[in-house]
Structure 1
Amino acid sequence: MARRYNISLSPPSASASQNEEEPSNSSVNHRRADKKSKKRKHGTETSEPSEPTERVTSPVFSSVTSDEVEKMAISLVRASISYEKQYQVLNNTILKKLYTMMETNAAKVSFDRVFHRANSILTDVFGLELAQLPEKTNKHKKQKVDNTSEDRERKKTLNSSYILVNSLPVDIRQKLVRFYQQKVAKINSLEEVADSSSLLPTTGSDLIHQGFNVVILSVIVINSNRVTSDELHQFLSKTFKISCKENIRYEFLGNRSIPEFCGYLEKQEYISRRVLGDDKESRKESDLFEYFLGRRARAEISKDAFYFMIQEIFGEMFTEEIKKQAIHSINTAYSEGD
């Protein structure tokens, strides 16, 4: 809850520029006594020690109140939740635009102050927090090395991007998992949800969305963070008996085909892709590419969570060999950047 500060500063008197109040009779007499005690010795003036006088100076307060900071933080909270519902990354450009639109005197408030207050509200009220995404890099382009720490910090600030992630304690998350396991109907095959319009509640389609997303991410991770589009399509066709053709769309995937759904995940930055080719010219003409984990997936899902998901997906087939492969692949995926 925001603290409210009611500060009242009296207007300065005529002698305020000299940092003195208008002298009272007692203070005048005190000064005269001090003056009489002064002695001249060898052309220098000395004075006997007198009682120290305490000088109180008025602090300088910003014209922006804590209430205004609270309003700006709440506006940032609303915007971040709105963008997250669309799976849209909050980049530095969007944040600055939102920040300057909040108040006319926003320039007088530190952005960090508003940002930290907004994160506090998100954590306390929603169990969420704004997490910074890893910086984007180019796999095929040699990165320029910054010479100084100032250069690195400046570039980091300019390229900052954020998403909302779960900040609930582990025990609360486990309780939520058990709740969903008990309350959500189990789906044995995708044929059961071919017409998801009949499902109640309607959020069931979103859960299928997320579940299918988890499957694709797990397939990428278990393959050491790289899987070609053909390999992914073959796995989905063989495992789930669904077509990966461009012209066949599924309602449970938002009326998208499998390639379109992968493009949707790429736009959300759950996955990324690189075109395969030996050189720049061959990559221009190539229609072959491979998928790897995107920034959002690495920021939103921890290594332990990925291990748990892979274990759940494989079930009884999660052998000791697959376990070792999973651990190695997860570490590889998180050690690589975009």
Structure 2
Amino acid sequence: MPPSQRRRRPVEDEESEEDARPRQRRNQGDSDAEPEEEEEASEDEMDVDARPGQSADDQLAKKLVRYAISCEYSRTVIRRDGIRERVLGNQGRSFKRIFALAQIQLKDVWGMELRELPVKEKMTLQEKRQAMKSNSQPKLGSGAYILSSTLPKAYRTATILPPSKTPSADDEATYAAFYTMVISMIWLNSGELSDQKLKRYLTRLNADQNVSMDKTEIILKRMENQRYVIKKTDRPPVGQDGDLMISWHVGPRAKEEVGLDGVMGMVREVYGEWNPDLEKKLCSSLNIKERTAEEEDEVVEEDVSRRQTMDAE
């Protein structure tokens, strides 16, 4: 190595050491000047460590809310297995906790809640016999949910909750009116309506061929897929001659979404003027407990006030 380079090296080393010393002093001074910021940062880290699952649970709850709304928009049943697969992933064991958080968000923000559909009933004679033969315990829950409104009754009017605009408001209103009418006819026939009688009713209503722009068969099939109605086919025993017996029953979605209140409301709307005698006949047809005189008067007064409001609008 040339002597000139040997002479320069100590100088460069001294300069680098001198440059390093003030930087170290500055770092030490900074740390001495800002002790509170470091303490605050450490406290924040301690808070995060103390509640590691809170933000993750909130995100999963919001994801469950989005999934529930998307399913309900197409009237697809929200199944527990679907929630575990598409929302929770490897957090399947936290279903109850995430479900409870999602319920809070749905009620506080959207005015809705997830309600579990009733367990599928044994309707045909063959199904009832198989259930009696089997020793299996009945299911406590169906594991299927739909979204239901939690708004007060005063806010569940058509002006506040209009029909969905998908595919169009008119088509949605027509479909809702049709399935409510069919469900009401089934319920008023003790919960079971033969296929022949249903066709006869639809013929009287001029709805046996088409409902709006769709075929009646397509609409009934859609109602069946969305679990508004259940279509049962009883075949004759093996070796015996006979015709197929087709019957229609109220589906689990109809029981939760429409319910007896929806059926009674539609009957009152169709009849127009309402009185206590008609209320007794309606309760008898639906096999429910008759209301007291005060409750009947409240129903009549409510119907009159509702009609006056509609006329004023």
TM-score bracket relative to the smaller structure: 0.5 to 0.7
Residue 320 of structure 1, CA deviation: 6.2
Separation in 1 of the partners of 2:287 and 2:94? 37
Map 1:56-95 onto structure 2 (within 5 A).
Answer: 64-95=52-83
Match of 1:217 in 2: 183
2:168 alignment partner, one of 191, 202, 214: 202
Distance 1:320 1:262, change over 3 A: farther
Residue 312 of structure 1, CA deviation: 0.9
Match of 2:46 in 1: 8
Partner SS state of residue 110, structure 1:
helix
Residue 305 of structure 1, CA deviation: 2.9
**Which structure would you say has the larger Rg?**
2
Deviation track 1:192-249 (CA, whole Å, cap 9, x = no partner) reads: xxxxxxx9x93121111111111111111122211112211211221x324x24xxx4
Match of 2:196 in 1: 230
Separation in 2 of the partners of 1:282 and 1:134? 35
Match of 2:15 in 1: none
Instruction: Check conservation: 1:225, 1:329, Cα contact below 8 A.
Output: no
Matched, 1:307 2:264: yes
Map 1:131-210 onto structure 2 (within 5 A).
Answer: 131-140=115-124, 141-142=127-128, 143=131, 155-156=139-140, 159-173=142-156, 176-177=157-158, 202-210=168-176
RMSD between aligned residues: 3.5
Q: Where does structure 1 lack aligned partners over 5 or more consecutive residues?
A: 10-59, 185-198, 333-338
Distance 1:310 1:165, change over 3 A: same
Distance 1:147 1:76, change over 3 A: same
1:327 alignment partner, one of 267, 279, 283: 283
Separation in 1 of the partners of 2:278 and 2:193? 17
Higher helix share: 2
Q: Amino acid of the residue matched to residue 163 of structure 1?
A: I
Distance 1:74 1:144, change over 3 A: farther
Partner SS state of residue 8, structure 1:
helix
Q: Which moved more, 1:291-300 or 1:132-141?
A: 132-141
Distance 1:323 1:282, change over 3 A: farther
Match of 1:52 in 2: none
Residue 288 of structure 1, CA deviation: 3.4
Deviation track 1:94-144 (CA, whole Å, cap 9, x = no partner) reads: 12212333xx5x25x621110011111111111111000111133232325
Match of 2:230 in 1: 272
Instruction: Check conservation: 1:133, 1:299, Cα contact below 8 A.
Output: yes
Deviation track 1:141-175 (CA, whole Å, cap 9, x = no partner) reads: 23259989xx66xx435x411111111111222xx
Matched, 1:128 2:85: no
Map 1:245-264 onto structure 2 (within 5 A).
Answer: 245=209, 249-250=210-211, 252=212, 255-264=213-222
Separation in 1 of the partners of 2:283 and 2:45? 58
Give me the TM-score of the superposition, normalised by structure 1: 0.61
Match of 2:27 in 1: none
Separation in 2 of the partners of 1:314 and 1:95? 43
Distance 1:331 1:74, change over 3 A: farther
Residue 328 of structure 1, CA deviation: 3.2
Question: What's the % identity of the aligned pairs?
Answer: 23
Residue 301 of structure 1, CA deviation: 2.4
Residue 263 of structure 1, CA deviation: 1.4
Separation in 2 of the partners of 1:65 and 1:278? 58
Match of 1:241 in 2: 206
Instruction: Check conservation: 1:265, 1:271, Cα contact below 8 A.
Output: yes
Match of 1:33 in 2: none
Distance 1:202 1:86, change over 3 A: closer
Residue 326 of structure 1, CA deviation: 2.6
